[in-house]
Structure 1
Amino acid sequence: MLENSWRFSKLSYGLIWKNKELLIFPLLSGIAEIFILASFIIPFFLTLQGGTGNILASAGFYIVLFIFYFVTNAIVLIFNTGLIACVFKILHGYNPSLGYGLSFAFKRLPQIISWSILSAVISVILNALEKNETISSLVTGILGVTWSAITYFVVPVIVMNGLGPIGAIKRSGETLRSTWGKALIGNFSLKIIGFLLLLPVLILLGIGLFFAINAGSPVGIGVVAGLGVLAFIVDYLLTEAVNSVFKCYLFVYATDREVLDEGYTEAFADAFCPKRR
């Protein structure tokens, strides 16, 4: 499994390295998320001031929470759809522009909006269940993991097939059921590898911070802190882009039995092996 994860990492990071402009999609998505979060601080504060026991305040909180989830999902999905649309084109030998990805995302706007509504509803329900003392946190955790699993390929389905939310969930679930394997584990492994790539940078920054503090240098502390923030931003952009690329490769192979890089045929075949009955 570790060998396959390393192969998938090289494959996915390699595509990003050759097409660095793809990092603009997660960058724009991250900036948008920051502005959305900032704009909802006051509404959340006002609804929470009413107290958890107040029915009207609780209703207000969940309405604001739904709007927050909906707006966040829609914005993130627009940029993610654009990224995945470009990756699919690249995998099939084309060289798409960023404009192509964004224009494609806006063509899928009806599907994006409908999926964002459904996703926001499910997120609010899961949030409410987590706060319910009569329901075990284990149950809500299982429900959350199950939802994440069956919707794993939803964005590629929206991009490739233009299906609505129900059709996208069904197709995503069918893809996992018909070619069950290590897709989700592989995705998790890529995140671990992304952290391991960041770890040496964090160690060096920690050493630099230690010396800056001992020297009593505010400038040195500020520089190290700035470099730390930059390192986390770069790692976030790479991780988001690489995960999308990985998902595209898996989806293409899972649905079409098509591996564009023949050297990775064995790895993909191992990741998507038929279920044993």
Structure 2
Amino acid sequence: MFKASWRVLRTQPRIAGFPVLSGLTVLLVAAAFLTPALFAAQRPGMLGWVLLAAGCLLAITMVTTFFKAALISQADVALRGERARIGSGLVAAGRRWPGLLAWSVLTLTVSAVLRAIEDRMDFALRFLGALADIGWNLIAYLVLPVLTLEGMRLRDAPKRSAELLRRTWGENIAGYAGLSLLGMVASATGVAAVIGLGSLIGGRATLYVCLLLSLVWVLLVAVVVATLNGIYQTALYRFATGEAFSAALGDLDLRDSFSGTARGMSTL
């Protein structure tokens, strides 16, 4: 399944532009909010700082959600065998902005509640909070494809996502855990290789260059993994809803990948 997602990315590399645009926009939003927040923090009272920090978190969440929805819309286009376009993705996400904003508020609220539970000293509560966090992420995995591609209202989207989860729970878990693991392994391996090579060469200048190269590598891996995750979510959604894949992009490969995952999970 990862090979199939990679094939889509290799065929339509412009899809990777959405995580890049998301990251750049997040930096701009953070600067716009945190600059006045620093001045507000120097004044008596915390209300102004708290409001700015909350607004910053919501804006960043909305930005990442918006560009993820744009990516999903164009991954769907690519999976149909058509040409993905950055502009078309932004327009598609723009049409869904009310639902995306509501989803951003909901995810931010749920994350805050789960984090508060996990920060408690009681081990049982922390354990239950961790399980709830995993369950929530699994249920929410297909919410964005549902919101973006079906235009469903937010109150119905989690239920729809959970329904699709019951059909593809093995693939859902594999995608949720596998892509995260892939990103961590690729980042750690690349950084270790670059730093190790720098240590063999020696010199302070070499160390600085290796640190810069390591940062570039980590960012590159993050962009690729984020793009693959969006493609995988979209492919899983299309598989769960019975939508066809383009033969040019390897319909058999995708379906065999998902079927193989389901067989593997059923043996656990």
Q: TM-score range by the shorter chain?
A: 0.7 to 0.9
Alignment partner of 2:80 out of 92, 96, 102: 92
Distance 1:234 1:65, change over 3 A: same
Q: Secondary structure at the match of 1:182?
A: helix
What is the CA–CA distance in structure 1 between the aligned matches of 2:147 and 2:38, rounded to whole Å?
Answer: 31
What is the CA–CA distance in structure 1 between the aligned matches of 2:121 and 2:51, rounded to whole Å?
Answer: 21
1:152-183 C-alpha deviation (Å, 9 max, x unpaired): 10110011111122211111011112343232
What is the CA–CA distance in structure 1 between the aligned matches of 2:174 and 2:39, rounded to whole Å?
Answer: 38
1:227-260 C-alpha deviation (Å, 9 max, x unpaired): 1111011000000000111111111001116454
Alignment partner of 1:31 out of 24, 32, 36: 24
1:187 paired residue number: 176
1:18-48 C-alpha deviation (Å, 9 max, x unpaired): 2111111001112223344453387489679
Letter in 1 for 2:118: E
Equivalent residues of 1:32, 1:75 under 8 A apart? yes
1:166 paired residue number: 155
Name the stretch that deviates more: 251-260 or 236-245: 251-260
Q: CA deviation at 1:119?
A: 1.7
2:242 paired residue number: 256
For structure 2, the 5+ residue unaligned runs are none
What is the CA–CA distance in structure 1 between the aligned matches of 2:78 and 2:34, rounded to whole Å?
Answer: 37
Q: TM-score, normalised by structure 2?
A: 0.83
Distance 1:187 1:44, change over 3 A: farther
Distance 1:237 1:209, change over 3 A: same
Distance 1:145 1:45, change over 3 A: farther
What is the CA–CA distance in structure 2 between the aligned matches of 1:63 and 1:48, rounded to whole Å?
Answer: 14
1:4 paired residue number: none
Equivalent residues of 2:72, 2:230 under 8 A apart? yes
The yes-or-no answer on 1:104 pairing with 2:97 is: no
What is the CA–CA distance in structure 1 between the aligned matches of 2:243 and 2:150, rounded to whole Å?
Answer: 17
Alignment partner of 2:34 out of 40, 49, 72: 40
Q: CA deviation at 1:83?
A: 0.7
Distance 1:68 1:138, change over 3 A: farther
For structure 1, the 5+ residue unaligned runs are 1-7, 51-55
Q: Secondary structure at the match of 2:228?
A: helix
What is the CA–CA distance in structure 1 between the aligned matches of 2:181 and 2:167, rounded to whole Å?
Answer: 27
Name the stretch that deviates more: 100-109 or 119-128: 119-128
Q: CA RMSD in A?
A: 3.0
What is the CA–CA distance in structure 2 between the aligned matches of 1:43 and 1:128, rounded to whole Å?
Answer: 23
1:61-95 C-alpha deviation (Å, 9 max, x unpaired): 77555433321221001111111100101111211
The yes-or-no answer on 1:239 pairing with 2:232 is: no
Distance 1:48 1:156, change over 3 A: farther
Equivalent residues of 2:187, 2:221 under 8 A apart? yes
Q: CA deviation at 1:199?
A: 4.8
Q: Secondary structure at the match of 2:207?
A: helix
Equivalent residues of 1:205, 1:224 under 8 A apart? yes
Residues paired across the two proteins, number: 260
What is the CA–CA distance in structure 2 between the aligned matches of 1:92 and 1:22, rounded to whole Å?
Answer: 14
The yes-or-no answer on 1:227 pairing with 2:213 is: yes
